[in-house]
Amino acid sequence: METIARLKIDTFELTLLDIKQVDPQLLHALSISVGWPHRNSDWQMLLELGQGLAAVDEIGRVVGTVMWLRYEADFAMVCMLITLPRLQEQGAGRWLMEKAHELNEGAVFGLNATREAKRLYRSLGYGYEQKILRYQGQVTPERRATGMATHSPKAEGLVRPVAASDYDSLLRLDHAATGHDRSIVFQALLPGSSGQVLIRNDEIAAFALCRPFGRGHVLGPIVAASEDDGIAVSRPHVEAHAGSFLRADTPANNSVFTNFLIESGMQIHDSATSMGLGRAPFAPRSANGPRRIALASQAIG
């Protein structure tokens, strides 16, 4: 290619602001610039759930972000670390992370790292890695949902839609699966989600939520003690979204569940790495008890 002319542009001077002070449209534009599928409403939910910083240039353009969600006094989930592509590999990502750490001194940190970000997080001391697979696609189940309670062929028990009175049981299961009291997450997710629960011995043994996100809907969080239970509560959601776009982010060791996703028409799109600074970010209370079959999202965990 022939060069016609050259111009050297000055380097940016960035100012950090509270992320809630900037125009949400600018945040959305930034996530689009790195190819992320978030809608305005996905940003909105995160802004209600957590805190964060926005790096702006001299004329108010948002060129970087980082957020954190304080699930408990001593734990922060870091998310939405983004720098504008033309600014990358010049230190802005590391700067934003260091500021997030400073503002949450004493906390243990967790996050889900994209491939690009993994090296940065490792160099900041993050470890306890667990692979997370992102499945997505147009779903094609064999039969459509009726909205009626159904018996699952493999999991013992009855699957039915979630009710408002199930809230405490969902929180208890999630706490047992993650080690955190994530009531703020459920308060934010439940109004916009549909849900299915598995009842066994008069108790809720598993649940799966599903809500609009990105290009379609996201299936998660799903908490169950076995992958078969996780499939039982997921199947009605898959059936309800026949012909439309569905996504699920699942720990890579859930091979029975990922086969179910593949049989439902979804494919691996990408992978991420769950990482922690200080200790493992999510720890089930017991080895055979409830665990995460799918995340609420990569940002939320």
Q: Which residues bind ligand COA (CB under 6 A)?
A: 34, 81-83, 88-94, 113-114, 116-117, 119-120, 123
Tell me whether residue 245 is exposed, middle or buried, using C-beta atoms within 10 angstroms of its C-beta: 0 to 12, 13 to 18, 19 or more. Answer: middle
Q: Smallest gap, in angstroms, from Cβ of residue 280 to ligand COA?
A: 17
- Quick one: 186 or 213, whose CB is closer to ligand COA? 213
CB-wise, 62 or 224, nearer to ligand COA?
62
Closest listed residue to residue 19, CA positions, set 7, 30, 5, 34: 30
When CB distances to ligand COA are compared, the closest residue is 93
Q: Shortest Cβ distance from residue 124 to ligand COA (Å)?
A: 9
Neighbour count for residue 7 (Cβ, 10 Å):
4
The phi and psi torsions of 245 (rounded to 5 degrees) equal: -85, 130
- Of 83 and 234, nearer to ligand COA (C-beta) is 83
Minimum gap (Å) between residue 298 Cβ and ligand COA: 7
Backbone angles phi, psi at 22, to 5 degrees: -100, 160
Buried b (16+ CB within 10 A) or exposed e, 108-128: ebbbbbbeebeeebeeeebeb
When the beta carbons of 62 and 113 are compared against ligand COA, the nearer one is 113
CB of 56 to ligand COA, least distance (A): 15
Whole-number minimum distance, CB 4 to ligand COA, in Å? Answer: 29
Q: How far apart are CA 185 and CA 104, in angstroms?
A: 19
Minimum distance, C-beta of residue 90 to ligand COA, in the bound complex (Å): 5
Rounded to whole angstroms, how far apart are CA atoms 33 and 73? 33
Q: Name the residue nearer to ligand COA (CB basis): 117 or 233.
A: 117
CA distance 176 to 171: 9
Burial of 148 (0-12, 13-18, 19+ CB in 10 A): exposed
Cβ closer to ligand COA: 81 or 198? Answer: 81
